[in-house]
Every structure is written in C-alpha cells, then in structure tokens.
C-alpha cells in the first residue's frame, strides 16, 4: 500500500515531502519553548498553541504539491524521524499515531472537499484540522484532561491551527505571485 502511494509522486515531489517533514520537526524545538513561556503560567498545554505553527508545514507541503496523500506522507516521515531518532517527544511508539493522524485529517478533508484550491479557506480549515486532531489525540492518549480544560485546549488548538493555515496561504500566495510555483512545476515537468 505504501509503495502504491509513493509511486504516485515524482522524485521532486518526494523531496518536497521530505523537506516539509524535516522543517516541521526542526521548528518544533524552537517554537515549543517560546510558546511555553506564555502558556505555562496560564496552564494551557503549550503543544496546542505551538502545534499550529509546526503543523503548518504539513499544510504547506500539501498546498505546494496539490495531491491527496501528501499530508499523510509528510506526517508519516515525521513519525519515522521522531521514532527512529528518539527526539522531540516522550511518546515512544505512540508518536507514530499522534504524528500521522493530522496528515490523515488533512487528506480526508481534501477527499471530502474535492481537492486543493490554494484558497485561504481551504488552507485555514486544513490547518485547523491538522492541529485539532493532533491535540485531541495527544489528550486522549496521554493527558486525559477534564471537559472544561479540554474544551479550552481544543479552542486554543483551533485558533493556532487556523493561524498556521493562514501563514501557509500567505507563503503559497507569495510563491505564486513571484512565479516560483510555476517555475518549480515547469522544472519538475521537464525532469520527468
């Protein structure tokens, strides 16, 4: 099944997928401590807020390539990196599930909505779904917050995920305006 999914992508697209996964993992240790400075005193789990900013890479990668399955592959690569290197998490083998579900949520949204249009609404919702699903799953598996703190945490995750989606939209819009997306796609088509 994985081979069939990977064969749908060119080498160039697989490089973009690996790059987005790596950027998501690399930005996490920078963003999380900064967010904890604000969320710690408020007793809000920092991952709910920070998640929108490092889940942004899943949404951005899916927007760059524009195919269903990209978000899941990015999340899968992230989970493999985290598990194999033992970094950026204390969730052990459960990292596989907690990392991959946000990618699946984005791809399910794409299937239901009919695919990518690089619109603010599509990326906004994708960011929300990625961060909300990840935050909920981590809570379900590890934190098990009571209802009211859970609702507040999921609300914060929704806001942060939406912001991550908006940032993805701004980046993609700028790349499109400067013609970089077209040059990337043209170069990719010529190399195939």
pLDDT of 191 higher than 60:
no
DSSP letter, residue 44: -
For residue 42, the model assigns a pLDDT of 76
pLDDT in tens, 18-35: 999 999 999 988 888 888
Domains of the chain: 12-182 (1.10.1760)
For residue 166, the model assigns a pLDDT of 96
Residues 6+ apart with CB under 8 A from 145: 45, 139, 153
Distance CA 125, CA 74 (A): 18
Q: What's the mean pLDDT when you consider all of the chain?
A: 86
Q: Are 156 and 48 in contact (CB under 8 A)?
A: yes
């Amino acid at each position: 099944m994985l081979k069939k999914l990977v064969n749908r992508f060119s080498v160039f697209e697989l490089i973009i997928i690996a790059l987005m996964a790596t950027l998501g993992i690399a930005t996490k240790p920078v963003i999380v401590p900064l967010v904890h400075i604000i969320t710690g005193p408020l007793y809000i789990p920092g991952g709910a807020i920070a998640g929108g900013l490092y889940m942004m890479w899943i949404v951005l990668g899916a927007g760059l390539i524009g195919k269903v399955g990209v978000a899941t592959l990015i999340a899968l690569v992230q989970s493999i990196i985290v598990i194999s290197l033992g970094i950026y998490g204390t969730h052990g083998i459960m990292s596989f599930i907690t990392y991959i579900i946000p990618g699946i949520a984005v791809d399910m949204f794409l299937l239901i909505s009919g695919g990518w249009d690089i619109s603010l609404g599509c990326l906004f919702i994708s960011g929300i779904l990625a961060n909300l699903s990840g935050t909920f799953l981590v809570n379900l598996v590890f934190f098990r917050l009571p209802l009211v703190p859970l609702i507040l945490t999921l609300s914060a995750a929704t806001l942060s995920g939406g912001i991550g989606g908006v940032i993805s939209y701004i980046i993609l819009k700028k790349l499109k305006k400067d013609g970089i997306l077209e040059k990337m796609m043209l170069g990719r088509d010529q190399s195939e």
